[in-house]
Structure 1
């Protein structure tokens, strides 16, 4: 991972997203330095996932202002998407249970090479490109804390056979392959034992310390968080409804017209 200077500063004032059934969240304020660990806490249905989708340029805000790495939302949504990544977001980054860990990694590496490779990189010898891709993957796996040798069948382990914490680490590693400046992780503590939650937050803390700003959704923010953003219903600007899959899909489709 690159140094902390490569993380994305995140700021927002009066930030809100509105869906067909009303406000999903509104009035959110954030001030996070590059390389910060930001915890978005609140109960399920309080707009947590939509907030991280909006901050990464995947969902169009309806009010307020926000900047990510100096890029303004919603005006520069496509640019924000290029410097950010998502991990463990249901309906967006779902892992295929029938594929193996190795197949997921190979697919991600191919996509990275296809959409992120410069002409100069493509002209380098194939052996050099393969070595660089391998190094990038190894770095991402290490940053996510996923040791393939500890899995039941090593890299050939099917996703359906992974423990929940292992699947979360895999999703995190796949997102880190692109070396984003900001990474958003949904449901960072969902259905994890206390010890597993501690492990994951320690890993996310390490990712942030290495230079990637992390925004993680949780039910309760840990002590490790540098910034805590609450979407709890007790806040006057929060709502308690969860958008339907169709509403989320419609909002995500809007990113294509940003």
Structure 2
């Protein structure tokens, strides 16, 4: 649930008067042109940026008051400048690094006392589960899991970033630039993947330039800085095609004057640390 959410930066309002409702397992498309506040909205709803007006509730946790708790149940796929893949690392290195971080930050004391062989088997099982959910088959890559990220196709890199996020079994998944530089076929495959993730019960927030018809569409609108705060009620929103997940979703009203650039002062220190931890470079 999101009501009147707004975030203001040095250049004016990044977004304002954002309101919508989405149940667990929804596919929410944050649609709009570059510079309309889509990424800021994604980071705010995943507990990485502090908003300045309105409120939201994610998994029963209020924002911005419980940002740290929201970050524990929300994971980021690709978000440029925040959680990016390292082109110099291989697929296996990314997966191993994320699994070790997951065990370090989320593992119970009992899990740490298990035999090394048992822990290794459980880690491998979790990685395989995430890879299957993301539709990434390492055996189909040029060098298997030893393939460097720089050698991955755009869709393969997207699948890897989602697999890394799913290792933590999050309740909320955020992905930026979902359809950027994808062919029509790859774009359809990307949305099919996110739809499958949502069908499994994980709510998906996906930034895009054009949302699919069956997603809950939240449209942000770019505006000049000198009109920031004056166009908050002129945004548009689409409605999802009726289905079991979005039938009770209310119409969203959004507006997004401001720049997409994320000011350092807008990201909380804890949010930055968590974002770095997700990439393994904290």
TM-score by length of 2: 0.83
Q: Show the counterpart of 2:265.
A: 250
After superposition, residues 46-195 of structure 1 pair within 5 angstroms as: 46-195=36-185
Counterpart Cα distance in 1 of 2:71 and 2:218: 21
Q: Show the counterpart of 2:212.
A: 222
CA contact (8 A) 2:40 2:260 kept: no
Q: Alpha carbons of 1:224 and 1:237: their partners in 2 closer, same or farther (altered >3 Å)?
A: closer
CA contact (8 A) 1:34 1:212 kept: yes
Counterpart Cα distance in 2 of 1:137 and 1:189: 25
Counterpart Cα distance in 1 of 2:214 and 2:202: 15
Q: Show the counterpart of 1:6.
A: none
Counterpart Cα distance in 2 of 1:41 and 1:19: 20
The aligned length equals 243
CA contact (8 A) 1:58 1:77 kept: yes
Counterpart Cα distance in 1 of 2:137 and 2:265: 37
Q: Show the counterpart of 1:237.
A: 255
Which ranges of 4 or more aligned residues in structure 1 deviate by more than 6 Å? Answer: none
Counterpart Cα distance in 2 of 1:129 and 1:172: 23
Q: Show the counterpart of 2:14.
A: 24
| Gapped regions of structure 2 (runs ≥ 5) | 223-233, 236-253, 273-282
CA contact (8 A) 2:38 2:260 kept: no
CA contact (8 A) 1:16 1:27 kept: yes
Counterpart Cα distance in 2 of 1:17 and 1:255: 18
Shift of 1:123: 1.3
Shift of 1:256: 5.5
Partner of 2:168, secondary structure, is coil
CA contact (8 A) 1:19 1:243 kept: no
Partner of 2:21, secondary structure, is strand
Counterpart Cα distance in 1 of 2:265 and 2:139: 40
Q: Alpha carbons of 1:252 and 1:22: their partners in 2 closer, same or farther (altered >3 Å)?
A: same
CA contact (8 A) 2:44 2:50 kept: yes
CA contact (8 A) 1:57 1:255 kept: no
CA contact (8 A) 1:184 1:214 kept: yes
TM-score by length of 1: 0.91
Shift of 1:240: 4.6
Counterpart Cα distance in 2 of 1:101 and 1:43: 31
Q: Show the counterpart of 1:7.
A: none
